[in-house]
Amino acid sequence: MTVNSKALQIKAKHQVYTLLFGDNLSKLYGEGYDFSELREYQMGDDIRKINWIISAKLGKPYIKELQENRELSVAVAVFMDGSVYFGKDNAKQKKLCEVATVLGYATLQNSDLFRGLFYSSKKEFVTPPTKQFYHVEYFSQKLFEASLLETKIDYESSIKDLFTHLTKPSLLFVLADFLENIDLSVLSQKHEVIAVIVRSRAEESPEKLDEVLLKSPQDGQSVDTYFGASSKKKYLENLKRNDENLMEHFFSYNIRYVKIFVDDEVVERLMTLFH
C-alpha cells in the first residue's frame, strides 16, 4: 500500500485504539503534574517568586506561581527541516509525522486538550487548542506534506516563539532529530517537557562510502569527498559529543526523553518513558 497521510493516520489510530486502551492512556502522559503559571513581574509581587533562569534568558523578570491543574493540556511541537532527508528518502519526516499523530489521537482518546505546532524555516502551522479529530488529522497532513528540502530551522527563535505562543502550562512533547543544539531550558521552567528524538539507524551507524558526492538537504550545496574509515570515525566522535551534551542538558532540566528510529513501533517506544 502506498504510504500517504491518510494511511499513516489509520496506522496511528490503530495503535492508539488497540495498544493504548483503558489505564494505559494515562500512563502515556503520567499523572499528578503540578504546573506553574509564568507571567511578567509586576510592582508589588513577591520577589521570592521570580524565576531567575527564565528572567535571565528573556531579559526581564518573570514570576512563577503554582496553580491547580484541572484539565491536562498536551502540546506537540514538531521541528523539521531539510535534515529529515537523510539517505535516499524522507523516512524521518514520515516517522515524525506518525509520532505526532499517535500523540494527538491518544490525547483526544484521553479527553485532554491537544495543541499542535510545526516549525521549519519559519512557524509553519499551529492548531487551536482542540478536542476535535479534524484538527489532529489536518495537523498530521501538514506535517506529512511539508516540502522541506533546502530549509533550515533557526532553533533559538523558534523556541522563543513556542514559549510565547504556548501560554497555558502544558505537557509538551518536542519532536526533532536533535542533531543540532536545542536549548529547552526556558520551556522546561513553564511546561513538563518530553523530548522525542527521531533518527535513522544509518545516522548512528553510517557505512563507508569511499568517493562520494554529498549534497546538503538544508542548503543544497554539494561536495565531492572521500568518506572512509577516518571520516566515519570523526563523524561518530562528533555525534557522540553531541548526544552526550544532549543527555546532560536533559538531566539538568529534568526532561524525559525517548529515541525512536524510523523502523520502530511508535507506541512501544513511547511506553518505555514510563517503565
Predicted confidence at residue 32, as pLDDT, reads 45
In a domain, 45, yes or no: no
* CATH number, position 126: 3.40.50.410
In a domain, 44, yes or no: no
Give, as one character, the DSSP assignment of residue 273.
Answer: G
Give, as one character, the DSSP assignment of residue 263.
Answer: T
Whether residue 219 is predicted with pLDDT greater than 80 in this model: the reply is no
In a domain, 258, yes or no: yes
Predicted confidence at residue 233, as pLDDT, reads 85
Minimum mean pLDDT range among 42-46, 69-73, 98-102:
69-73
Q: How much is the average pLDDT of 80-109?
A: 89
Predicted confidence at residue 255, as pLDDT, reads 93
Measured distance CA(71)–CA(114) in Å, rounded: 11
Task: Judge whether 196 and 177 are in contact, CB under 8 Å.
Answer: no
Minimum mean pLDDT range among 41-55, 121-135, 182-196, 247-261:
41-55
Measured distance CA(101)–CA(16) in Å, rounded: 10
Cell of 87: 539517505
In a domain, 262, yes or no: yes
Q: What is the DSSP string of 75-140?
A: EEEEE--GGG--TTS-HHHHHHHHHHHHHHHHHHHTT-EEEEEEESSSEEEEPPSB--HHHHHHHH
Q: How much is the average pLDDT of 5-18?
A: 82
| Angle formed by the axes of helices 91-109 and 5-19, nearest 10° | 50
In a domain, 48, yes or no: no
Task: Judge whether 269 and 17 are in contact, CB under 8 Å.
Answer: no
Residue numbers of the domain that contains 225? 5-33+69-274
In a domain, 185, yes or no: yes
Q: What is the mean pLDDT of the chain?
A: 83
Measured distance CA(137)–CA(140) in Å, rounded: 5
* Helix (H) or strand (E) run with residue 37 in it: strand 36-40
In a domain, 50, yes or no: no
Cell of 186: 526556558
Q: Is 270 left (phi over 0), alpha (psi -120 to 50) or beta?
A: alpha
In a domain, 94, yes or no: yes
Predicted confidence at residue 1, as pLDDT, reads 42
Whether residue 242 is predicted with pLDDT greater than 80 in this model: the reply is yes
Domain count, the chain: 1
